[in-house]
Amino acid sequence: MKQYLQLCQRIIDEGTWIENERTGKRCLTVINADLEYDVGNNQFPMITTRKSFYKSAIAEFLGYIRGYDNAADFRALGTKTWDANANLNEVWLNSAHRKGEDDMGRVYGVQGRSWMKPDGSTLDQLKKIVDNLKNGIDDRAEILTFYNPGEFELGCLRPCMHTHTFSLLGDTLHLTSYQRSCDVPLGLNFNQVQVFAFLALIAQITGKKAGKAYHKIVNAHIYEDQLELMQDVQLKREPFESPQLKINPKITSLEDLETWVTMDDFEVVGYQCHDPIKYPFSV
Ligand SMILES: Nc1nc(=O)c2c([nH]1)NC[C@@H]1CN(c3ccc(C(=O)N[C@@H](CCC(=O)O)C(=O)O)cc3)CN21
Ligand SMILES: O=c1ccn([C@H]2C[C@H](O)[C@@H](COP(=O)(O)O)O2)c(=O)[nH]1
């Protein structure tokens, strides 16, 4: 939790104001942040200086694991996070590729589970990784990437947390996740939870011990309309100890994640937090 608050403070102390054309807002911005989560010791990086909605964050990531391309499927899992980008983004609404209400196009999980090959067949990046890790194989390219520049116009948003690399050292599994753009008050709150839960889940279904998750961020920003709440409210609060994430031990395969898992299979123990803060969201 300290590293999150330190990053927020660093943006305020050292950030540069950058005009963002896509949203029409200014962002206070720093380049390069490295965060680290101790998954092996279950130090769940849930924000405590405001109420955090971890189930939304995990639901969103489970949707990526399933290769969802529709905001309605995300809502059914328990998160509304894709509603705005699927249905309110001007460029996407006017795109000939949008298939209708709630369609997100070929974003995130679609690339992860069915990357289009030149011959028209598809490639399942995640299944290859899970199969290898289960068999104790790390070919030094256990990489899941959602980043497909050739298909950007086929989706509503370019992926922010775009690449995840798994590494096996003996029987301990580590994860390195890369993020190109980070809305620190809103998005990072979710992304921290997702990086942690992704390593915990893949370690569980491949029968490995979870180690560390390394989260590497390039552009970390606070939107102009979020700054006051961050500076005068959230950063004035003292953090509580990290809680723990309990995952249903009956989840043992990728197929389980694809079929019956719901948010009821995740529980947080020992979460103490301050009051909620409602940060503005930019589409
Ligand atoms: N500007 C922007 N910031 C983001 O963080 C972001 C995007 N756009 N677009 C794509 C996804 C969607 N994400 C989102 C979207 C909404 C919330 C949000 O409103 N969170 C609230 C309430 C969550 C809830 O009630 O479940 C929060 O207080 O954290 C968070 C992340 C992260 N991403
Ligand atoms: O997982 C996510 C997804 C999105 N974000 C934020 C980062 C930016 O503020 C916007 C995306 O805008 P771009 O113009 O495409 O960079 O969404 C996030 O923090 N985490």
**Cα 179 to middle of ligand 2, angstroms:** 9
**Cα 57 to middle of ligand 1, angstroms:** 9
Distance of CA 117 to the CA centre of its chain: 25
pTM of the model: 0.97
Residue 1 has pLDDT above 90, yes or no: no
Q: pLDDT band for position 106 (50/70/90)?
A: very high
Instruction: Find out whether the beta carbon of 144 lies less than 6 Å from any atom of ligand 1.
Output: no
Nearest Cα residue to atom 24 of ligand 1:
53
* 22 carries a ligand binding annotation: yes
What confidence tens digit (pLDDT) does each residue in 118-171 have? 999 999 999 999 999 999 999 999 999 999 999 999 999 999 999 999 999 999
Residue carrying structure tokens 């753009």: 181
| Confidence at residue 36, expressed as pLDDT on a 0 to 100 scale | 98
Separation between Cα atoms, residue 71 and residue 231, nearest integer Å: 32
* 135 carries a ligand binding annotation: no
Q: Which residues, 6+ apart, have CB-to-CB distance to 21 below 8 Å?
A: none
Separation between Cα atoms, residue 29 and residue 27, nearest integer Å: 6
Separation between Cα atoms, residue 161 and residue 197, nearest integer Å: 14
Task: Give the DSSP H or E segment for 25.
Answer: strand 25-38
Neighbours of 5 (CB within 10 A): 18
Residue 270 falls in which region: left (phi positive, over 0), alpha (psi -120 to 50) or beta: left
What confidence tens digit (pLDDT) does each residue in 214-255 have? 999 999 999 999 999 999 999 999 999 999 999 999 999 999
Q: pLDDT band for position 59 (50/70/90)?
A: very high
The 3-state DSSP class for residue 221 equals: strand
Ligand 2, CB cutoff 6 Å, lining residues? 22, 157-158, 160-161, 181-183, 187, 191
